[in-house]
């Protein structure tokens, strides 16, 4: 696999019949969330945790699209495309989760731990120096894999998104507006968290690992 850096499998002693696909964000490692993963395992969930290479360091838009395709292929090979699957995605992992729900009607449950318009991620300086592309061009290339979804496309799915009140990485107001647009036809819940992007990730995976379990129970 080119972009999936590692695959960690945790099998529960007393299975509850549910599988969680747990996907990390940019620069995240599975070991960082092991406390949380162990809690989920003890609750009976079979867990498949993925972390990824630093795809954005290539400064090439196609790598993000290729990553989505690789995860899609992996999920099909693992026979994970089922209504019982619960996807937990952190940042870019959440964006991948959105994409998998758009691609497969069978997938119905998604928890996102912060995320947003990925085209806003590279700084203006980085765009000029490394990407050699304008933000508008990048947004256009990533249009099909960004978080934006035609209203009604994810109808009858159950999604929860945790979003920080302020964020230097994404624009929370823009994300909130997108979710408000989706709410009338989609079962999507927004939870606002204190702190920024990275603080939300650390808080919800390391410092308060049990809260994710409560939200997963809501998805069921």
pTM (2 d.p.):
0.95
Indicate the domain borders of the chain: 4-219
Q: Which helix (H) or strand (E) holds 5?
A: strand 4-10
Q: Which of 6-20, 97-111, 169-183 has the lowest mean pLDDT?
A: 169-183
Q: What pLDDT score does 101 carry?
A: 95
DSSP annotation of 130 = I
pLDDT above 90 (res 194): no
Beta-carbon contacts of residue 22 (< 8 Å; ≥ 6 apart):
33, 37, 40, 47, 48, 49, 50, 88, 89, 93
What is the pLDDT of the chain when averaged over all its residues? 93
DSSP annotation of 111 = E
Q: What is the pLDDT of residues 16-64, one digit of tens each?
A: 999 999 999 988 899 999 999 999 999 999 999 999 998 888 899 999 9
Q: What pLDDT score does 148 carry?
A: 87
**What's the distance, Cα to Cα, between the start and end of the chain in Å?**
31
CA angle, residues 177, 181, 184, in degrees to nearest 5: 140
- Report the CATH superfamily, name and number, of domain 4-219: Alpha/Beta hydrolase fold, catalytic domain (3.40.50.1820)
What is the chain's length? 220
């Amino acid at each position: 696999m080119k972009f999936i850096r590692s695959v960690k499998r945790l099998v529960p002693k007393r299975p509850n019949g549910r599988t969680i696909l747990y996907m990390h964000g940019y620069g995240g490692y599975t070991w960082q969330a092991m406390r949380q993963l162990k809690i989920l395992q003890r609750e009976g969930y079979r867990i498949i945790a993925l972390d990824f290479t630093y795809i954005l360091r290539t400064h090439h838009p196609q790598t993000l699209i290729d990553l989505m395709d690789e995860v899609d292929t992996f999920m099909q090979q693992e026979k994970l495309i089922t209504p019982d699957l619960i996807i937990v995605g952190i940042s870019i992992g959440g964006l991948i989760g959105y994409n998998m729900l758009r691609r497969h009607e069978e997938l119905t449950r998604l928890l996102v731990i912060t995320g947003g318009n990925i085209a806003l991620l590279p700084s203006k300086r980085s765009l000029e120096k490394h990407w050699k592309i304008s933000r508008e061009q990048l947004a256009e290339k990533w249009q099909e894999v960004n978080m934006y979804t035609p209203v009604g496309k994810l109808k009858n799915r159950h999604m929860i998104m945790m979003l920080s009140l302020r964020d230097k990485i994404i624009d929370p107001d823009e994300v909130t507006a997108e979710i408000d647009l989706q709410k009338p036809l989609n079962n999507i819940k927004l939870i606002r968290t204190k702190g920024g992007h990275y603080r939300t990730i650390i808080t919800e995976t390391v410092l308060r690992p049990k809260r994710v379990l409560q939200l997963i129970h809501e998805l069921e």
